[in-house]
Amino acid sequence: MEQSFCKLNFITNGDGFTDITDDLNSFIQKSNFHSGILNLTSLHTSCSLTINENADPNVLKDLEKFMKSIVPLNCYTSLSKDREEIYYEHFQEGEDDMPAHIKTALTNTNLSLSFKDGEIILGTWQAIYLWEHRFAPKERSISVHIIGEKNSSNYNNRK
Amino acid sequence: MEQSFCKLNFITNGDGFTDITDDLNSFIQKSNFHSGILNLTSLHTSCSLTINENADPNVLKDLEKFMKSIVPLNCYTSLSKDREEIYYEHFQEGEDDMPAHIKTALTNTNLSLSFKDGEIILGTWQAIYLWEHRFAPKERSISVHIIGEKNSSNYNNRK
Amino acid sequence: MEQSFCKLNFITNGDGFTDITDDLNSFIQKSNFHSGILNLTSLHTSCSLTINENADPNVLKDLEKFMKSIVPLNCYTSLSKDREEIYYEHFQEGEDDMPAHIKTALTNTNLSLSFKDGEIILGTWQAIYLWEHRFAPKERSISVHIIGEKNSSNYNNRK
């Protein structure tokens, strides 16, 4: 069992989803690992790592819209009977910053994925997304850590 | 340190919770592992893996009811001041499909559990659930991947 | 590759955040591990493990306030058009108990973190929090499990 550590950087296009599945599979193959755990940590508190549908783009649109509607900008109303209006106290970094922290808390910063035969084990309709919650494009770093088995040395020698 | 990969299939009974703790512990024991990480990935985008209470069944009822109330069918109202009414754009696979994708995004598709002495480390009141968000019964596949130490060969020989 | 298992206990101060990053890094260093996976499981169903901002304390205040406003005590209103008022059926363990189970389901019980050079890989503005959802102070147990490489024996001998 061996380890490999790396950071992968992605430029997001403002709020929305970037499919990073292929980049992660490429990293596994370049690192010459066969099978193991691919442990991912987003190094930010205003974007998420999530697994969701890779087929109908309306699924991603609806996800984005839903998230914006339960975590609105500036002010939101409580679900308690009195429907209190609540303002964020942290607003100095932009009106989209505190909502982004909340969206991150409601989703995931960390995914621990299994891979075999050099490929992440996913269902047919699944992709791994970097979900940007800030409105402006950002450079995002993902810590990528593998613990697993490398391809046999015979295989390496032949290359 | 060794690895083992498997898929476990479960038939869910429509929306609600299936306790899979015992099945997972059985898998660990049959695989003859002593201690390690049990990495779980649901291979679907409309059900979740979650850890919650195993005692009062009303806890699961309240969880289900809450989830349905913040992710309603067909149309939901925003928490912003104007309380906009929003309709899903992805509705072609059934009215419970897009809400199921959102519920999956708000919970987990992936759990990385520790086990020791052949048993998952959990608190007294915890169980691991497959949380079905679709209304019809479904066959669901969970990728089960162990990295850990096997029972000693002495122990194996004695069996 | 070696393993180490431990439980770390924390006294929470009622609802809110306890930064456990330093305790976790100390545990790694005391265990003499160099690099690997630190797998954390909260052994409770009414508090969470989460990664969020470590800079402006208002971020944590806003997170707490938001969570309380979407998961209120006693009764909440649905986001469906009819805005149904819904009461919890599980209320016997205190009015803050069922909301705590829901908050746990919406966040995380389990984090699988990577560490290198004896330190958890995090972004500059990230900390790991134990997020207490019950109102009274509680003693909370976190299962801490390492799979990784120990410091070389040379290094050990020199100490």
| pLDDT tens figures, B61-105 | 999 999 999 999 999 999 999 999 999 999 999 999 999 999 999
Label the pairing between strands A110-116 and A85-87: unpaired
B129-153 mean pLDDT: 96
Look at residue C1 in the predicted model and tell me its pLDDT: 95
A140-148 mean pLDDT: 98
| pLDDT tens figures, C89-122 | 999 999 999 999 999 999 999 999 999 999 999 9
Per-residue confidence band for A60, with pLDDT thresholds at 50, 70 and 90: very high
Of the candidates C49, A53, A43, C79, the one whose C-alpha atom is nearest the C-alpha of residue B105 is: A53
B118-143 mean pLDDT: 98
Look at residue B152 in the predicted model and tell me its pLDDT: 84
HEC assignment per residue over chain C:
CEEEEEEEEEECCCCEEEECHHHHHHHHHHCCEEEEEEEEEECCCCEEEEEEECCCHHHHHHHHHHHHHHCCCCEEECCCCCCCEEECCCCCCCCCHHHHHHHHHHCCCEEEEEEECCEECCCCCEEEEEEECCCCCCEEEEEEEEEEEECCHHHHHHC
Contact C77 A76 (CB under 8 A): no
Task: Determine the residue of chain C that is closest to B85 in CA distance.
Answer: C81
Chain B closest CA to A120's CA: distance in Å? Answer: 10
Look at residue C51 in the predicted model and tell me its pLDDT: 98
A63 touching chain B per CB within 8 A:
yes
Partners of B116 on chain C (C-beta within 8 Å) are 5, 145
A46-70 mean pLDDT: 97
Look at residue C40 in the predicted model and tell me its pLDDT: 98
Q: Answer whether residue B153 shows pLDDT above 80.
A: no
Look at residue A88 in the predicted model and tell me its pLDDT: 98
Partners of A113 on chain C (C-beta within 8 Å) are none
| pLDDT tens figures, C8-46 | 999 999 999 999 999 999 999 999 999 999 999 999 999
Q: Answer whether residue A147 shows pLDDT above 60.
A: yes
pTM of the full predicted structure? 0.96
Chain A closest CA to C20's CA: distance in Å? Answer: 17
Q: Answer whether residue A153 shows pLDDT above 90.
A: no
Chain C closest CA to A105's CA: distance in Å? Answer: 6
Burial class of residue A121 in the structure, from the number of CB atoms within 10 Å of its CB (0-12 exposed, 13-18 middle, 19+ buried) = buried
What is the Cα–Cα distance from B95 to B90, expressed in whole angstroms?
9
C123-146 mean pLDDT: 98
Q: Answer whether residue A155 shows pLDDT above 70.
A: no
The rounded mean pLDDT for chain C is 95
Interface test with A, best of C2, C38, C66 (most A CBs within 10 A): C66
